[in-house]
Structure 1
């Protein structure tokens, strides 16, 4: 089946690069691809977000370059890249490079940043949430402009994912710049965010159906999947942490996708 937006259901896997050796991370990415997942994401942090705060952790974009070579079918990306950590022109060049290495499989996930320890330990100014969102709004046109100047250019229009649910700033950015919107929440929360996003799209004359809707999920797909499909959500992303990367929940979501897509 397809949803009301005529998009097939897709399943993402956020392979959190924490508390594990890189061999385990590489094996989990390959296993997820073999299981039939559509996208393998990591995240852009410098320290674990759960468990031992000083535990093992690896850098986001270096991993994406490695996955571009070690996988062959899945799309790959960060959920999400922190705009604060890199110059926007550099982000565009990195994305274009991984796009080529992967044969056109990169999704450019972008967010404003929020984890203060990353900022403090690596010497970035944390500032305010509003300031970081303003910085992201400034960065997106610069990234798009740099794509147009790179030689060679990207192999395709690199899909842009913007993560977050802020109704005044983030969802307006999604309407202007994103191919995919990623957020969290129960159906009631998501329904409100969808309504706000649709209005931002109307304000700028964009068809909201052009934007794929993505949600981070846990638990049984039958419990939340149908309600989210009714809201136009078609990309469902399951997360797993090291050291062992239990993929059992991912398997259940892939099986549900296959049943629903027919």
Structure 2
């Protein structure tokens, strides 16, 4: 029997809707409470320097109400590290996004940036926080992630989602998917746990979980919030959780 994978709901898109009107509707804090009440195993936020969705103030206000698992994603600037070590989420996910990027679109080159990542991870570990590194399906980058001190890798599933959408009955780009499986296998071999995220949805999630059952957690935001417009937030969270059980 495959182990159950936890679902962390990324609420950035909810904040984006709120910010479009300049008021507090929808209420981010209430949404986080409701997501957990509806079955989410965690809440993810990705505060960016321009605060176009989640704001720094939101991160501080969310900490007391997230009783499942709080995951803060971001590029490790000095300001970001200071925020994370002060708020103390259960997990920090490091992404290599430059400040102006629209959304995360690649993983770390853990070989090139190993020394940088090691220093950052040591500082975050000192605050008692688990660290996950955003990684492309590149098996040769796994060992460097371990040497940098990461606890987990988060498989960047954007390319997988595109391949799945382009095929009729599951991904036909087997070379790509084999790279995901090999990256996962190597991570487990060296003692790293597995997360996944980006463009996972109700159509492609089951296949990914079926073939990489060791996933500890998936972080899903954009697709889940879009689905909630049709199915309702509570029902949508349960639909995703069923695919992960």
TMscore range, shorter length: 0.5 to 0.7
- Alignment pair present for 1:165 and 2:139: no
Residues 174-193 of structure 1: pairs in structure 2 closer than 5 A: 174-176=145-147, 177-182=149-154, 183-184=156-157, 185=160, 186=164, 188=174, 189-193=176-180
- Alignment pair present for 1:77 and 2:71: yes
Equivalent residue for 2:93, pick from 109, 113, 125? 109
Alignment-derived partner of residue 66 in structure 1: 61
Alignment-derived partner of residue 29 in structure 1: 32
Q: Residue 169 and residue 98 in structure 1: after superposition, are their counterparts in 2 closer, same or farther (change >3 A)? A: farther
Q: Residue 238 and residue 213 in structure 1: after superposition, are their counterparts in 2 closer, same or farther (change >3 A)? A: closer
Unaligned residue ranges in structure 1 (runs of 5+): 48-55, 100-104, 119-128
Q: Deviations over 1:141-186 (max 9, x none)?
A: 21233357xxxx53x4x11111130627754443333223222025
Q: Residue 164 and residue 43 in structure 1: after superposition, are their counterparts in 2 closer, same or farther (change >3 A)? A: same
SS in 2 for 1:178: coil
Q: Residue 61 and residue 212 in structure 1: after superposition, are their counterparts in 2 closer, same or farther (change >3 A)? A: farther
Alignment-derived partner of residue 211 in structure 2: 230
Alignment-derived partner of residue 124 in structure 1: none
SS in 1 for 2:30: helix
Q: Residue 171 and residue 116 in structure 1: after superposition, are their counterparts in 2 closer, same or farther (change >3 A)? A: farther
Q: TM-score, normalised by structure 2?
A: 0.67
* Alpha-carbon distance in 2 for matches of 1:136, 1:42: 24
CA contact (8 A) 1:91 1:143 kept: no
Q: TM-score, normalised by structure 1?
A: 0.63
Q: Residue 228 and residue 61 in structure 1: after superposition, are their counterparts in 2 closer, same or farther (change >3 A)? A: same
Q: Deviations over 1:234-253 (max 9, x none)?
A: 42332148899642432311
Give the length in aligned residue pairs.
212
Q: Residue 138 and residue 13 in structure 1: after superposition, are their counterparts in 2 closer, same or farther (change >3 A)? A: same
How large is the RMSD of aligned CA atoms in angstroms? 3.7
Q: Residue 116 and residue 94 in structure 1: after superposition, are their counterparts in 2 closer, same or farther (change >3 A)? A: closer
With a CA cutoff of 8 Å and minimum separation of 6, indicate the structure with the bigger relative contact order.
1
- Alignment pair present for 1:10 and 2:6: yes
